[in-house]
Amino acid sequence: MGLYLKKKLDNEAIIGVWQITESEEELLQLASTPTDEMEEISFIRSESQRKQRLAVRALLNTLFDEKVYLGHHENGKPYLENDPTNISITHTEKYVAVILHEDQDCGIDIESLDRDFSAVEKKALSEDEIDDLEDEKRNEQLAIYWCAKEAVFKLLSRYSVDFAEQIEIERFRPRGEGELEATFIDKNEDEEEFELEYMTFDRHVLVWVVGD
């Protein structure tokens, strides 16, 4: 299908989502991937993961007028080698998504609701967050919690963050789309607040955040 969604936010960020329906050969044609990136992709054993990387490249080609070159810092955070635009990337087997902002750090995460998120409760949620879970939409709620904390983590780009203790998500009720409030507490107990947005589509959850 290709480009599934392109959305410009009020804060000037741009979100792009690509639905992976193409074969690997078709994605190779659409991606026109730079040689060094293609060399990295060629070492990936999983066809699904190769397709995800190629779909990211195809999406970037759609969102930028000029060719951009994708690199990664030592901690894995992506950046554009020839463009100052800030970028965050996420992918599942079926979709890849990016968020772009000219000036601010940003984070984005997507997950399939067909995945079992029960493990998230123990490793990433605080006691208060666990108390707020509802049985009716428990898996969806856990998915949104996880995506929200991942998005904040990607924005901050810090090592050794304890999701349960350092990233707090205010109580919410899952809907088709909505807003979330998050607080990050650093090692010195200084706090930083973030406003996030999320949407659900095709059995997937997408959450994004832009810094101040």
**According to the model, what pLDDT value does residue 19 have?**
98
Give the chain's residues under pLDDT 50: none
This prediction's pTM: 0.95
What structural domains does the chain harbor?
2-103 (3.90.470.20), 110-210 (3.90.470.20)
Per-residue tokens: 26: 């078709």
- Cβ proximity of 37 and 13 under 8 Å: no
* Letter string b/e over residues 138-169, b meaning 16 or more CB atoms within 10 A of that residue's CB: ebbbbbbbbbbbbbbbbbbeeeebebbebbbb
**Structure confidence by residue, pLDDT tens digits, 43-101:** 999 999 999 999 999 999 999 999 999 988 988 899 999 999 999 999 999 999 999 99
